[in-house]
Amino acid sequence: MWQGVRGHDRIAERFRQSLACGRLASTYLFVGPDGIGKRTFAEALSAVLLCANPDEVALSPCGQCESCKMFAAGNHPDVDRVARPPGKRTLPIDLFLGDREHRNKEGMCHNIAMRPLLGRRRVAIIEDADWFSPESANCLLKTLEEPPRGAVIFLIGTSRSRQLPTILSRSQIVRFNPLPNADLAALLIEQDLTTESTTAEQLAAAAGGSLSKASEFADEQLRDAQQRLTTQLTSPNMDVPRLSSDLMDVITSAGKDAEARRQRFRTLLSSAIGKFSHQLRTPGQDSGYDPGVTLAALDRCLEAEEQLSRNANQSTLLESWLDDLAELQQRPT
């Protein structure tokens, strides 16, 4: 297990070899499902790259130099961290170029072009790379085309298909696999999400290698809501008013934070998408099965996911989504 990061030793070895050969690229795009450790890996690797006395064989920082101490404290002057602000659909231009009053005098692109203050490198970690707008991507374009000497940029996304061509063509792609169940179960216990090894194993098996999904499944209220939803999805007698009310209660129980509510809604949508995707792959022996209906239902779920990301009214969206699914299930086969 490299630097306490579970499940990604193969990728650590790739970077170890790149450093040994002096072939470190300037921009990497990490892709893979949410909650599998891509950001944690980028943080751990950044600590190595900025360390004054790294162990290049073990690919580990010394932990004693000024750079290591400042990195551990979260105030390293040669590190920029960029993430989508709460309530924003995309990464704003201001994060890269500064606000209007300080345009091109602040922001990640300005900072990474400066000479390092402590060592030989500057590092930028850009989360939410799936959420570049064309405008914010264009802001980054010049930096990616002509990277400053010693600069390393880590972009963290979920898949190639969600990246803009300008980003893909200028990045080295690093694919992260879902976490093995054993590693995921160990993480659930380490992070006090459960104390029972049996429960941890069950959550890991259901989460598809994602810690964030496993954390959601550990929430009993949300888990029950997912089960009620998936049970009714293929029923010709879906009780839309009651189901809508029950699911909305679960969504609003996340509190007043809009992003937390969206995440709960997104989790429910993911459950439905998984249900219909599984039905397409394994139609079974049901003589009433209609692949056209299942495809239409899957399309409606994906449409609802997009509407949610555009800040649609959640109550209205939930009811209309369930209404449409219920109508599809009542179609004659």
Give the chain's mean pLDDT: 90
pLDDT of residue 37: 94
Sign of CA dihedral 47, 53, 58, 63: negative
pLDDT of residue 96: 95
pTM over the 0.95 mark:
no
Give the other-Cβ count within 10 Å of 266's Cβ.
17
Going from N- to C-terminal start, the domains of the chain cover 9-175, 181-217, 219-329
Task: Supply the DSSP symbol for 60.
Answer: B
Place domain 9-175 in its CATH homologous superfamily. Answer: P-loop containing nucleotide triphosphate hydrolases (3.40.50.300)
Name, of 42-46, 228-232, 239-243, 296-300, the range with top average pLDDT.
Answer: 42-46
20 SS3 class = helix
- For 325, phi then psi, to 5°, come to -65, -40
pLDDT tens digits for range 239-291: 999 999 999 999 999 888 887 888 889 889 988 988 888 888 877 655 556 88
From the list 163, 164, 165, 140, the residue with the least C-alpha distance to 153 is 140
Say if residue 30's pLDDT is above 60: yes
Which residue intervals of the chain are DSSP H helices?
9-20, 38-50, 66-73, 94-97, 108-112, 134-145, 165-168, 181-190, 197-206, 211-217, 220-232, 240-252, 258-281, 291-309, 314-329
Do residues 329 and 236 touch, judged by C-beta distance below 8 A?
yes
Averaged pLDDT for residues 46-70: 95
Which residue intervals of 3-106 are DSSP H helices?
9-20, 38-50, 66-73, 94-97
Position 222 confidence tier, pLDDT thresholds 50, 70, 90: confident
pLDDT of residue 130: 92
